[in-house]
Amino acid sequence: MLATLRTMSHNGFMENAQPSQATRIDILAKLQPEGWMQIAAENLKLNAIGIENDDDSDAEMEVFADVAEIIKEDELIGNNVTVVGFGRTATDETLRLMAVTGHYNAVTSISGGAEEHIEGLSSGDEVLALCVHAAQKKKNSAQDCYFPLNRSTLACVEVELGDDDTPYIVSLLRKRQRMIQDIVASSDFQALNIHKKRKTLDLIAEDLSLELADSFPAEMTSLVCHRYSEHIKLPEIYSVVGSEYDAEVISGDKIRLIPQERNGELVVELSNSKEQATYLVRVDDVVDMYPRDSHLVELGEPTDEIEITDMIGLICQEADGAEAFVSSPIFRKLSLDIQRKALERYEDAIAEHLSTVTQFLDSVDPLEIEVRVTAFRCQPESTLCLGWSNPLVSQSSFSEDNDVTLTVDFVKVYNPDLADSKDRTEPFTSRDDFTLSGGEPMVLLGIGMTEMYYLVRARDILSLVPVYED
């Protein structure tokens, strides 16, 4: 049967199969003889369950789970899968040669007919099968196609991998969303009453949220997205706002996934307990997601400790946001004007946070601020006209283990990479286009008495403490 199948698949019987330019993985090639032997054993176990207890659904699900692990189902879920082999739809009575491309659904089983002589099984046995949710071009709909998981009836099972530029977590979320959409669109789900539908989606949401929590065990999670809604709940405040730019960064300490009953769309809920805010983001709008440990430094006088600590943490948060934004796939697709405006927004936010301390420079007492940094560039005022990347400019740097404290009387948010790009006409393409900053906000520090200036990345600032006169 397999030899015939392969011959037919090369003679024009694959009109439903869609060629793809994406990277493809041959699932059958990865199984090897050992994998097929394990599947054959699970087939025997499945049919033994039917003899012993016709209603043992838990035992059946255990078999399906074991087979899912054998075929590496996690690579298939939510991805486009091309299958060529003998299969059938739910309404077909017998197997027929089929070649389809659709979303992988699940491992299941079908009843074998008398004429279906499948290797290793008797007529009428339950047969482990792959379920693929395949599109129907003419009817503008989709149907489930079932393929016995047997090497005598399968010629090709290939999965298309996602875009290499897509972060793993984004690809995973999109795959999970496609899986849920297939479930919601299925006839089995639609046949359920409203209560069972909600219970099914609640169980799915619980599993997905646990999976996400395992991937992001840090105290805080940052999420880069095209847009979001923000819900702030205080005694008398409730508001919903959207993002100002095409790429935004939000952070929170609790995350979960919410499937929508109507269409299976997946929504990320990110809560920030400190700000008493909840962010809702459609999976289609997620650009990247990454864990972030709390970055707070205890500084300053006892009365100023909380305020200044928060300031350093907020500065680091904005720096993380800028880094994620510049590193995201969406960044290089934006116009130069939008890129600049978005990066300037991060600079404005850091300037606002710095004002907690820099406001003291406008008073008579104190006149200076001690700034502890892990790395910097420096040059005298006399060479500022040369710029900061000129080889003649002196440079100094320190590691995190060897920080230095600078006493300054001038603090300003300033990124030469942006300021010196006024004549640029093409959009930035990556962090490499930002020679000094990597796209992150920078701060210019100055000492009027010595006429020395220091250029520091915002994230390299460990503390800022006003210096009071005795």
- Predicted local confidence at residue 454, as pLDDT: 92
Q: What whole-number distance in Å separates Cα of residue 366 and Cα of residue 83?
A: 74
Tell whether 86 and 136 lie within a shared domain.
yes
Q: What whole-number distance in Å separates Cα of residue 95 and Cα of residue 81?
A: 19
- Half-sphere exposure (CA, 13 Å, Cβ side) for 241? 11
Is 300 within the bounds of a domain? no
Q: What whole-number distance in Å separates Cα of residue 360 and Cα of residue 365?
A: 7
From residue 374, give the alpha-carbon distance in Å to each of 143, 405, 456, 461: 59, 9, 9, 7
Is 352 within the bounds of a domain? yes
Tell whether 28 and 145 lie within a shared domain.
yes
Number of structural domains in the chain? 3
Domain end point (choices 292, 325, 345): 292
Is 27 within the bounds of a domain? yes
Tell whether 335 and 441 lie within a shared domain.
yes
Strand order through the sheet with 229-234: 237-241, 229-234, 277-282, 266-272, 254-259
Q: What b/e string do you get for 195-218 counting C-beta neighbours within 10 Å, with b at 16 or more?
A: eeeeebbeebbeebbeebeeebee
What residues make up the domain containing 60? 2-162
Is 103 within the bounds of a domain? yes
Tell whether 323 and 436 lie within a shared domain.
yes
Q: What whole-number distance in Å separates Cα of residue 406 and Cα of residue 418?
A: 25
Q: CB neighbours of 306 closer than 8 A, spacing ≥ 6?
A: none
Is 297 within the bounds of a domain? no
Tell whether 271 and 184 lie within a shared domain.
yes
Is 298 within the bounds of a domain? no
Q: What whole-number distance in Å separates Cα of residue 342 and Cα of residue 427?
A: 13
Tell whether 13 and 111 lie within a shared domain.
yes
- Predicted local confidence at residue 365, as pLDDT: 57
- Predicted local confidence at residue 434, as pLDDT: 93
- DSSP bridge partners of 281: 268
Element (H, E) at 6: helix 2-9
Residue type, 430: S
Tell whether 14 and 74 lie within a shared domain.
yes
Is 427 within the bounds of a domain? yes
Residue 93 φ then ψ, to 5°: -95, -25
Complete DSSP assignment for 341-394: HHHHHHHHHHHHHHHHHHGGGGSSS--EEEEEES--EEEEGGGGGG-SS-TTS-
The angle formed by the CA atoms of residues 262, 277 and 316, to the nearest 5 degrees, is 120
| Residue 469 C-alpha from the chain's centroid | 50
Tell whether 69 and 198 lie within a shared domain.
no
Tell whether 281 and 378 lie within a shared domain.
no
Domain end point (choices 162, 181, 199): 162
Tell whether 239 and 256 lie within a shared domain.
yes
Q: Is the pTM of this model over 0.85?
A: no
Domain end point (choices 162, 179, 196): 162
Strands 24-26 and 80-89: what pairing?
unpaired
- Predicted local confidence at residue 416, as pLDDT: 92
- DSSP bridge partners of 101: 82
Can you list the positions of beta strands (E) in 226-292?
229-234, 237-241, 248-252, 254-259, 266-272, 277-282, 286-292
**Consecutive sets of 10 residues in the chain, 470 residues long: mean pLDDT of each?**
39 35 72 86 82 64 87 77 87 84 84 60 79 67 82 83 67 83 82 87 85 72 80 54 62 87 87 83 84 42 47 84 82 83 88 80 69 89 85 66 84 91 87 91 89 91 77
- Predicted local confidence at residue 19, as pLDDT: 36
- Predicted local confidence at residue 247, as pLDDT: 65
Tell whether 347 and 456 lie within a shared domain.
yes
Residue 321 is encoded by which pair of tokens?
A: 């946001």
Q: CB neighbours of 26 closer than 8 A, spacing ≥ 6?
A: 156, 157, 158
Is 202 within the bounds of a domain? yes
Tell whether 334 and 463 lie within a shared domain.
yes
